[in-house]
Amino acid sequence: MKTPQKCRVPGLNIGCTSFIIPDYYVPAIRECVHYADDIALLLLEAGDHGEGLITPAEIRELAGIAADAGVKWNVHLPTDGGFSTEESGRRYTENIIRAIELTRELEPHTWVMHVVTDHIPGPDMRPHLTERETERILRGLEQITPHLPAPECLALENLECHPADYLDKLVSTTPHSRCFDIGHVWKEGLRPEELLPLWLPDIRMCHLHGLEKRDHKSLHHMAAATLDAILHPMWDIRFSPLITLEVFSLDDFLNSHQAMLESHERYISKH
């Protein structure tokens, strides 16, 4: 069977998620390395005390696979927690630290974190953070920071159901960076190309995915003008941070890659 070619886009740095192959971590990653130079290891469920996380033995195996294939890592930290109370914030912070310590052997360039009060998306997530919630989150981030190789390795991700400026105070008052989730901005009915110049100094990496009834779908569902509106300015400024195509099937990844190539062709034809 012919080995697939790596999916690359001229002038941009793209990657895939560990979920484009429907299998356990190790067999999935063995396939993922054929498609991308950078892989997002999705550790979305930790459980109450980290019991749901990947095992140290699996991490060691993944490190070997990645070293042989020459791929880089980023890690999506657990999302099954939040800062709604002191107790939930303490438990969530502990699980984030567990996940960082567990994956340090992979030498990820970025750990992506959701900063929420209630981790189940809903209308109650719309309000801005209160002063008490902000203080609780800042205390959690202060405990997490010493476990990072550098503070900017932790990237706080914008979510749907949050105001666009939800993370502004957290980013401005901590040494952490941003994960710019473009698909979440589209889902909110906003224009990511307007946020790009505002957030650019703090962007460490991006998530890019299309909408089709829900998010995290192939980019080929997006109108060409919508996709070009965010990608063409990226080519203009020689945008270098990683763009993870945050989709969860191989077809959606390959179709998204093709949509980006077509956008690049339109960009070249204009210049």
The domain limits of the chain are 13-270
Question: Would you state the pLDDT for residue 215?
Answer: 94
Phi-psi sector, 48: left (phi>0), alpha (psi -120 to 50), beta: alpha
pLDDT tens sequence across 163-190: 999 999 999 999 999 999 999 999 999 9
Q: Are strands 72-76 and 38-42 parallel, antiparallel or unpaired?
A: parallel
pLDDT digits (tens, 9 = 90+) for 102-111: 999 999 999 9
Give dist(CA 15, CA 134) in Å, integer: 32
Q: Which CATH superfamily is domain 13-270 in?
A: Divalent-metal-dependent TIM barrel enzymes (3.20.20.150)
What pLDDT, on the 0 to 100 scale, is given for residue 124? 58
- pLDDT tens digits for 82-127? 999 999 999 999 999 999 999 999 999 999 999 998 766 566 567 7
Q: String of b and e for 3-15 (b: at least 16 CB within 10 Å)?
A: eeeebebeebbbb
pLDDT at site 118: 72
pLDDT at 1 over 60: no
The C-alpha angle 4, 219, 1, rounded to 5 degrees, equals 15
**Residues 7, 223: Cα–Cα separation, whole Å:** 21
